[in-house]
Structure 1
Amino acid sequence: MSENGPYGVETLPQIMIDVPGAPAGCRGRRVERARLQWRPADGGDPATLAQEFLAAHRIALDDLARPGTHDPDGVCGAALYLSAAAGARAAGGAPGAPSPVPALPDLVVVVYGHTDRPAARGAEDRPGGFWLGDWRDSWTPRQHADAVAAVRAAIGRGDVYQVNLVGHAAAPYVGDPRPALARLAALPGARYGGTLSGPGWTIGCASPETLIALEGGRLVTRPIKGTRPATLAGRRELLASAKERAEHVMIVDLERNDLARVARTGSVRVDELFAVRRWCDLWQAESTVSAAPVDGLGLAALLRAVCPGGSVTGAPKLAALDRIAALEPVGRGASMGALGWVGAGQIDLGLTIRTAAADAEHLHLWAGGGITWGSDPAAEVAEAAAKAAPVRALLAAG
């Protein structure tokens, strides 16, 4: 079911670790100690398995209301990746179409310790040849627009209020894709820029969105919903758009409800609403929602409450997952899941938007947007293309 190991520093090359959300102060001193990889066929609940594996390696996350202390000489923490399909399974929702990247597990937990041995250059730092072929989309613009129309029809029937639709594209490559994927971290606004690798796969992330973090004793999520070109006119248009604001507020309410399931009564609050921030050549609207964790809240229960993220599913969440499973022809793979860092008293997981993945032969990329009754199919197709464009351009430059 799982892969556990390696168990010692001597079994691994000393490479630089650049996992999204990892503490910068330990960079160059982190070394992999143990690894768990899981797929749905293995059985069990991925959220519970993650918490148990971490506890077995001295990362106790069974009471997030209790402060923890980072040990600079012991276990540093762990990278955690949970796919959208695994998140849907943990939440009791439809998992969607099969992943186009079957080599990629649906749950990865990598525990890191500290070492005083100098780190060698990682593959992402080494020069090398790399060629990327043409991208091939898994649906045509017409099929994408038809899916938008189908969501609007479902909204008209009262089945859902909002659904996030995601498209996929793949391109063949030759060479080592890891340097190109590592460069995604340099994209402007990539709060969760970084990489994670395993046998036959690599994830490269340039996400600006916080799925869930533990900051100052409070759980924090920062949903992003609403996009315009990063021009003065685009900013004014985003701020004035009733459609974008209504879509955004709907997801903020969903995130408030998600946090309320694991929060102290009365502690959920919206700290910031509809702030406009920049990612590459786009303006995006972001809010901050926070809550105090209830006593005894563990990582597994938290993941079940917030995964998959509301901004990439819709409202109501389970009904939106049903629509997504019916309409998206290709699974979400590495996208729309969670990727980041956990440790003693630490949680910082980004939502894997603006994220690409490599298997042995292809690079894979996903992009989409939220659909409401006010959505225009052609505009939604264009928005998804605009979100994918900076990632495609940087990968092609590799």
Structure 2
Amino acid sequence: MRVVSRKSTERMRVDGPDGMETLPGIVAEVPGAPAGCRRVLTERARWEWRPADGGDPAALAEQFLAAYGLALHDLARPGPGHDPTGVCGAALYVSAAAGAALAGAPAAAANPAATLPEVAVVVYGHHPVPAPPAPAGGRWWRGDWAESWTPGQHAAAVTAVRAGIARGDVYQVNVVGHASARYAGDPLPALRRLAALPGARYGGTLTGAGWAIGCASPETLVELADGRLITRPIKGTRPATAAGRAELLASAKERAEHVMIVDLERNDLARVARTGSVRVDELFAVRRWCDLWQAESTVSAAAADGLGLADLLRALCPGGSVTGAPKLAALQRIAALEPVGRGASMGALGWVAPGRIDLGLSIRTAAVDTERVHVWAGGGITWGSDPAAEVAEAAAKTAPVRAALAGG
């Protein structure tokens, strides 16, 4: 088990075109962390996992958390009372690639952010004095975006998925593209701008040695409260206008695509739930993220007795709304079609503590390594998908993310 000391995470050297160097410190702005704790969180320990490390990352993460007093081996039981002098909880990041490995899917394209781990756990306690507001940061320069595929190649991937649906191989596949740009300066203010986008339920950042993630996700992968598991899949997008809302609500194609993923999430939850406890609490509600309407449902279930964090991650990762159905067949198509790995996107990022879990699905997410900033966007493909419309939808989803990361 690779444990990274706090000191080793405090320095990230970045040499851009003008040779600038940045030294971001530890910033506890974890998505899903309790609001009353954010300004007093201080890092106690961290663990990172990469495929070369071997072992089962879900089991290793659960063991690491237990070693620091965060017992997550029986999520159905209430957690202990809050101890202001002890460990508060932990940030948990699980990449889409790690989730696919947990699901038994074939390896996909390599992570384009080479310094980024596939799993990270950061344990936090409380500092007696609230931290001052984050500094504005130094100069930030971002170069032009280099796309991982052309619009024509993206459209061809959509066509290939439709051919697979016609053969009966899959019902739906989420196809994701990637872009990256060189940068110089301190990346954290730009990532914080991203995290502050309207509708970012899981807005926040997570940093490490040579990497950082910024998230503006609106989507709940899994929440645990009072022994009940909740997931809120999002599927279906239109411009945030009155006409766009009406069009989304009236679209038979979007509703069919959405219900297919709701059924997948019901099945995933049933694997780790008490028998008969899975229910759909809300179906096809329209929510706003930036300048887009999106359709969201709420599915919940009572956690089965003895359910641990590792089994929960194996059941739900990667999230159904960013894979497709059936999940394993969709992951096989994704591995064959996408030229660049999903990196920090389409995974899980949030907060875990005994009795409380709040993990967002890391859509609308960016990552930086020591040289480049990376973004991803895509959408679910069904038989009724139009390739040109799918390319346009992905561009609409990534536009606010790219704007937040603009250089100055």
Q: Shorter-chain TM-score: which interval?
A: over 0.9
The whole-number CA distance in structure 2 between the counterparts of 1:245 and 1:118 is 46
Match of 1:67 among 47, 54, 78: 78
- 1:2 paired to 2:2: yes
- 1:179 paired to 2:189: yes
Residue of structure 2 in register with 1:111 after alignment:
123
Residue of structure 2 in register with 1:88 after alignment:
100
Q: Spell out the pairing of 1:263-278 with structure 2 (5 A cutoff).
A: 263-278=273-288
Aligned AA for 2:220?
T
- Unaligned residue ranges in structure 1 (runs of 5+): 8-12
The whole-number CA distance in structure 1 between the counterparts of 2:74 and 2:26 is 32
Q: Secondary structure at the match of 2:36?
A: helix
Match of 2:109 among 85, 92, 97: 97
Q: Residue 15 of structure 1: CA displacement?
A: 5.6
Residue of structure 1 in register with 2:343 after alignment:
333
Residue of structure 1 in register with 2:138 after alignment:
128
Q: Secondary structure at the match of 1:244?
A: helix
The whole-number CA distance in structure 1 between the counterparts of 2:5 and 2:182 is 31
- Unaligned residue ranges in structure 2 (runs of 5+): 8-23
Q: Secondary structure at the match of 1:284?
A: strand
Aligned AA for 1:86?
A
Percent of residue pairs bearing the same amino acid type: 76
- Tell me the matched-pair count: 394
8 Å contact kept, 1:2–1:38: yes
Residue of structure 1 in register with 2:205 after alignment:
195
Q: For residues 335-376 of structure 1, what are the alpha-carbon distances to aligned partners after superposition, in whole Å with 9 as ceiling and x for unaligned?
A: 000000001211000000000000111110000000000000
Q: Spell out the pairing of 1:230-379 with structure 2 (5 A cutoff).
A: 230-379=240-389
TM-score relative to the length of structure 1? 0.96
The whole-number CA distance in structure 2 between the counterparts of 1:307 and 1:186 is 25
Change (3 A) 1:145 1:15: closer
Q: Spell out the pairing of 1:156-175 with structure 2 (5 A cutoff).
A: 156-175=166-185
Aligned AA for 2:397?
K
Residue of structure 2 in register with 1:143 after alignment:
153
Q: Residue 128 of structure 1: CA displacement?
A: 1.3
TM-score relative to the length of structure 2? 0.94
Q: Residue 120 of structure 1: CA displacement?
A: 4.5
Q: Spell out the pairing of 1:218-233 with structure 2 (5 A cutoff).
A: 218-233=228-243
8 Å contact kept, 2:141–2:185: yes
Change (3 A) 1:318 1:380: same
Q: Secondary structure at the match of 1:20?
A: coil
Aligned AA for 2:123?
V
Residue of structure 2 in register with 1:55 after alignment:
66
Q: Secondary structure at the match of 2:406?
A: helix
RMSD: 1.7
The whole-number CA distance in structure 1 between the counterparts of 2:4 and 2:213 is 20
Match of 2:37 among 23, 26, 30: 26
- 1:204 paired to 2:205: no
Q: For residues 211-252 of structure 1, what are the alpha-carbon distances to aligned partners after superposition, in whole Å with 9 as ceiling and x for unaligned?
A: 001023210000000000001110010000000000000000
The whole-number CA distance in structure 1 between the counterparts of 2:172 and 2:133 is 45
Aligned AA for 1:100?
P
The whole-number CA distance in structure 1 between the counterparts of 2:93 and 2:38 is 19
8 Å contact kept, 2:98–2:118: yes
